Amino acid sequence: MLESYIEKIDLLSEAECLDIIEEHKNASWGKHRWRQNAVDTTFEQDHDPSVLEMDPKWGHLVFKKLEAPLRKYFDDRGQDFLVKSLSVPRFNKYVDGQTMDWHVDHIHSLFDGNLKGIPILSINTLLNDDYAGGEFCFNLDGKEVVYTLSAGQSLIWPSVFLYPHHVRPVTKGERQAFITWGF
């Protein structure tokens, strides 16, 4: 049941992935910070990935390409199209043992300004697959399930607490992906 709301789609071509990586290579990457809602605090850890907001030029391409698959996602499940907007895609770059700890996507930081809503769908797109480790896993009803993507593929899932997920440590090479939230 939980698995049926996780969908894998083909979003970008290999050439688009390479262009996106190349064009953001020399940008000023920051460090991922995450928030523990229970204690209302944000944290930063050495093993967390580097992050960067996607340039709007590429962001618009991603939004355009996502529209039909997102409509289909809701159609296929007999739901209205619930997503009004998508957040600016954010890269996560993992090297040398970097990892993303278990978490759920109850993202508050999107809504600390003028934006109003709640995260409804998480869309995570892998840009390269020439690395080792770095497996993307959900905890579904207490069972860890690995989802393997190829470069250019996206995973779509509901951004709720039923879908804890993590990225295992990257052991070789560099793993690049980007996330956008539908709200």
The residues binding Fe ion (CB under 5 A) are 105
CB of 103 to Fe ion, least distance (A): 6
* Position of minimal CB gap to Fe ion: 105
Q: Which is nearer to Fe ion, 18 or 88 (CB)?
A: 88
Residues 6+ apart with CB under 8 A from 166: 99, 100, 101, 102, 103, 136, 137, 139
Q: Are 160 and 86 in contact (CB under 8 A)?
A: no
CB of 132 to Fe ion, least distance (A): 21
- Per DSSP, what are the bridge partners of residue 86? 182
CB of 158 to Fe ion, least distance (A): 12
Q: Which is nearer to Fe ion, 81 or 102 (CB)?
A: 102
Contacts within 8 Å (CB) and 24+ apart, 37-42: 37/106, 37/108
Q: How far is 68 from 90, CA to CA, in rounded Å?
A: 21
CB of 148 to Fe ion, least distance (A): 17
CB of 140 to Fe ion, least distance (A): 15
Question: Coil, strand or helix: which one is 81?
Answer: coil
Q: Which is nearer to Fe ion, 133 or 164 (CB)?
A: 164
Q: Which is nearer to Fe ion, 9 or 177 (CB)?
A: 177
Q: How far is 143 from 139, CA to CA, in rounded Å?
A: 5
Q: In the chain, what are the helix, strand and coil shares in percent, each to the nearest 5? A: 20, 35, 40
Q: Which is nearer to Fe ion, 25 or 47 (CB)?
A: 47
